[in-house]
Structure 1
Amino acid sequence: MNFDTVIDRKGTYCTQWDFVKDRFGKEGLLPFTISDMDLESSKEIIEALIKRVNHGVFGYSRWNHEDFKNSIEFWYNTRFNYQIDKEWILYAPSVIYAISKFIKMKSNVGDGVLINTPGYDGFFKVIADNDRKIISSPLVKNGNNYEIDFEDFEEKCKTCKIFLMCSPHNPVGKVWSVEELKKIISICKKYNVFIISDEIHMDIVYSGKHIPVLEVAGDYIDNIVLCTAASKTFNIPALGGAYLFCTTAKDRDEYLRILKNRDALSSPSILGIIGTITAYNQCGYWVDELLKYTKSNIEFVKDYLEKNIPELSCDIPDGCYFAWIDFSKLNISSEEFQKALIDVGNVAIMPGLTYGEAGRFFLRLNVGCSLEKVKDGLSRMKIAVDSLKR
């Protein structure tokens, strides 16, 4: 594969390119926004999809079969050296759907749901629109590493029914260590807090090793659900589909009742199922190459900022394909910086405020794209910053 190849996504009903005005108020901006990639999926996935489309019949499909479950089992064995129980596997239309259902299953209206901030903006929405209370435990930046303030975390757990975890953490790219995960679980167990772990970024890890939370759950495993998908890793979110691991028969039965009977969403997109099976069975090599490329892009961003825009800085994250850029040295508001980026630089970069107050003086730059696009975006950013100095 050649990730340097630039692919024109305009005119494909693409959220990032065709609908950039929806979020940024202006057409024609160079976008580094929603967390999908401008990179072409693997040839194996493309060929498998073409073969299925050429069949020409697109009736209802199923997810609950050995091919789907075996591919997931194979992936966890080969990538994480972790043996799952295939009975745990459940389908979801999306990760956020699964999170939403378990928020309702494991808490009541008005209950607290704890998150670490800055945090994925979808978490704020899914908690609030399920009529639960958002409780934030801000991450603490220690050098080039983010850490949980465990004293604050424990205090907040006293008032929560659920901890909604992001592992690896979007947007800061933190990969949790075994010790951190065990401490999180220990505190949640102490206060009977149910854990929902969003691990959709699990394969994008540069430093350390992703540990599926269930691997270190011990006797608290029945109080944790792990939600994830192949979509983020292989750039196939538009195909649809995700999955979760739920270790208790009672919760599996309740979730499936909601999925099938109440929400009528148990018939999956066949292309999403085929995409996942093919990705997990055949495309590990593609992920290995992707990691080299996106890490190199982040390293380029870091080096460029140091040399050309010293008021801005970023660290190399443990994981995720984002450069989390600190612009606090500019001594301007997020709103003022966004205005310059949009009106002067003609570039759309996610403001850190999207991820909560803790991200106020940051930008989240998506580097899941060609190096050429990264260079263009950084040059536009420099033009915007220079305009603020005049």
Structure 2
Amino acid sequence: MNFDDIKDRRGTYCTQWDYIKDRFGKEDLLPFTISDMDLESPDEIAEALIKRINHKIFGYSRWNHDDFKNAVTGWYEKRFNYIPDKEWIVYSPSVIYSVSKFIEMKTEKGDGVLINTPGYDGFFKMIEGNERKLISSPLKNVNGRYEVDFEDFEKKCDEAKVFLLCSPHNPVGKVWTEEELKKMIDICRKKNVFIISDEIHMDIVYNGKHIPILSLGGEYLENMILCTSASKTFNIPAFTGSYLFIPSEKDREEFLRILKNRDALSSPSILAVIATITAYNKCEYWVDELVKYTENNIRFTKEYLQKNIPELKCEVPQGSYFAWIDFSELDLPSEEFQRYLIDIGKVAVMPGLTYGEEGRYFLRFNVACSIKKVQDGLERILKAVEHIRNLKNI
């Protein structure tokens, strides 16, 4: 395991590298975009998959067995000191599919779905696609750290049927405290708002501790679900596959009816099942090293900006592998800065505006890659900023 190794991903039908022109208009860019990693998955996962592929028969498979469920509950016990009920575990092809189905189940067209913004752009598209009303409760930026405006949050709950939580939060990297989660649950209980918690970034935490929301559910437990996957942690999203915890038996049966009978998606990718079991049973050490490495990459990013591009600022987030970079001191519109990054720096970084109006003067810089690539990306950003400096001095 050497995260410094660089492997060329071009020519593998890779979204981040092969199809960069689709989003940024040019091909010759160094990408720090979609939330996957330029890092190899653990050897144990590759070996388990090769063994299965060498069997050479790829028929229909199952997820509803003890090998899969015990791997999941064992991971939660090891990482979060929490043992969810095995009966709650249900397979899903993706986290966003699970979220979408529960929004269908718990709301009608036109009903409100509350999120904290800036927020994952997939939430915006999915809520709109379901013909629901997106309700935003903006997070407060306090010296680079984000907090919930609970007065606004409670007010917005009056308009919402569902609260869609991102925990840890993408893109700002907020890891919610027990106090914050309890307060969210208490307000949702008081307002009769169903809670859907997307916890796909749960394993990438630098400061604080990830707390599965169900561990705090108490009397409101059957009015919430937790959706997650091994895909972000172990860089295996190409296999598809996720799982969720549904404490309510009624909701569980309804979700399975939709999954199996209506959408015909209950047969999982066997590669996803094997990868998840192997990851959770054998690769805890790898996650520990990954967290150290990506945290170091973000610290390097912060220090590089302080030394070379003081107009740009970022704090080390509490979790996730994104540096959330504030460029407001450049006094440039997001669209104009993007043009300089693309045309002058030859670098593709997700504009914060993608995640809502609150991200207008930010970049989401994905550091789940070699330190050499991070340095190259920052040097390209510097080149773009130097061009801007020269223009301002003309």
TM-score when normalising by structure 1: 1.00
Structure 1 residue 143, shift from structure 2 partner? 2.2
1:366 aligns with 2:360: no
| Cross-structure match for 2:318 | 318
Which residue does 2:102 correspond to in 1?
A: 102
Q: List per-residue Cα deviations over 1:44-71 (Å, max 9, x = no partner).
A: 0010000001100000111001100000
| In 2, Cα distance between equivalents of 1:56 and 1:233 | 28
List per-residue Cα deviations over 1:155-178 (Å, max 9, x = no partner): 000000000000000000000000
Amino acid corresponding to residue 136 of structure 1 in structure 2: S
Q: Per-residue CA shift, 1:318-355, capped at 9, x if unaligned?
A: 00000000000000000000000001101000000000
The residue number in structure 2 matching 1:186 is 186
Shift in Å, 1:142: 1.4
- CA distance in 1 between partners of 2:214 and 2:252 (Å): 16
- Give 2:4's aligned residue: 4
Root mean square deviation, CA, Å: 0.5
| Runs of 4 or more consecutive aligned structure 1 residues displaced over 3 Å after TM superposition | none
- Give unmatched runs, 5+ long, in structure 1: none
Unaligned runs of 5+ in 2: none
Matched residue count: 390
The 5 Å alignment of 1:160-171 reads 160-171=160-171
Q: Return the offset for 1:240.
A: 1.0
SS at match of 2:125: helix
Report the 3-state secondary structure (helix = DSSP H, G, I; strand = E; otherwise coil) of the residue aligned with 2:160: coil
The whole-number CA distance in structure 1 between the counterparts of 2:285 and 2:88 is 27
**How far did residue 121 of structure 1 move?**
0.3
Deviation at 1:144, TM superposition (A): 3.3
The aligned residue for residue 173 of structure 1 is 173
- Indicate the residue corresponding to 1:280 in structure 2: 280
Q: Which residue of 1 aligns with 2:251?
A: 251
CA distance in structure 2 between the aligned counterparts of 1:162 and 1:373, rounded to whole angstroms? 40
CA distance in 2, matches of 1:371, 1:26: 24
| Deviations 1:157-215, CA, capped at 9 Å, x for gaps | 00000000000000000000000000000000010000000000000000000000000
SS in 1 for 2:345: coil
Cross-structure match for 2:154: 154
Aligned partner of 1:15 in structure 2 is 15
Q: Give the Cα separation in 2 of the matches to 1:215 and 1:70.
A: 18
Q: CA deviation at 1:39?
A: 0.2
Q: How do 1:26-105 and structure 2 match up within 5 A? A: 26-105=26-105
Which whole-Å CA distance do the structure 1 matches of 2:34 and 2:285 have between them? Answer: 25
- Give the alignment of 1:114-153 within 5 angstroms: 114-153=114-153
Aligned-partner Cα distance in 1 for 2:124–2:149: 20
Task: Report the residue type matching 1:214 in the other structure.
Answer: L
Paired residue for 2:349?
349
Q: Aligned letter for 2:261?
A: N
Q: State the alpha-carbon separation in 2 of the partners of residues 388 and 13 from structure 1.
A: 34
1:134 & 1:322 partners in 2: Cα distance? Answer: 25
Secondary structure, counterpart of 2:365 in structure 1? strand
Residue by residue over 1:332-383, the C-alpha shift from the partner in whole angstroms, topping out at 9 and shown as x without a partner, is: 0000000000011010000000000000000000000000000000000000
**1:104-125 CA deviation, whole Å, 9 max, x = no partner?**
0000000000000000000001
1:333 has 2:333 as partner: yes
